[in-house]
Amino acid sequence: AQSVTQLGSHVSVSEGALVLLRCNYSSSVPPYLFWYVQYPNQGLQLLLKYTSAATLVKGINGFEAEFKKSETSFHLTKPSAHMSDAAEYFCAVNAYSSASKIIFGSGTRLSIRP
């Protein structure tokens, strides 16, 4: 069975600092991996997705993530945090063999300090 683990339920960085949100996956088959962002009282919005075409994936709002098979990781980064990045971030996995079952991690709340 596939799953994702997000390390750190809350991350706080200063405005302009590097953002690093960690995600490790477990899957018996090559996975599809996603990062979603959720602002308060809203649905989730896709930031980026990994589909095996390239290990470094660029997404919206300046975010990117790197797929590392040897580390079973798919960490999300942004070089310079902006106040508008404050939100909840979810890593998700959908294994090739799964029939439509996308599994979400427990989420990481990102806070930005002025």
Partner 1 sequence: DAMVIQNPRYQVTQFGKPVTLSCSQTLNHNVMYWYQQKSSQAPKLLFHYYDKDFNNEADTPDNFQSRRPNTSFCFLDIRSPGLGDAAMYLCATSSEQGSNSPLHFGNGTRLTVT
Residue ranges that bind partner 1, judged by CB under 8 A: 9, 32, 34, 36, 41-46, 49, 51, 90, 94, 96-107, 109
Q: Residue 10 CB, nearest distance to partner 1 (Å)?
A: 10
Nearer residue to partner 1 within complex by CB, 61 or 97: 97
- Comparing CB distances to partner 1, the nearer of 18 and 54 is 54
Q: Which two tokens stand for residue 30?
A: 């090559």
Which tokens is 64 given? 């990117």
- Smallest gap from Cβ 23 to partner 1, in A, equals 12
Nearest Cα residue to 23 out of 93, 95, 86, 97 = 93
If DSSP codes are grouped into helix, strand and coil, which group holds residue 46? Answer: strand
3-state helix, strand, coil in the chain (%, to 5): 5, 55, 40
Closer CB to partner 1, residue 70 or residue 100? Answer: 100
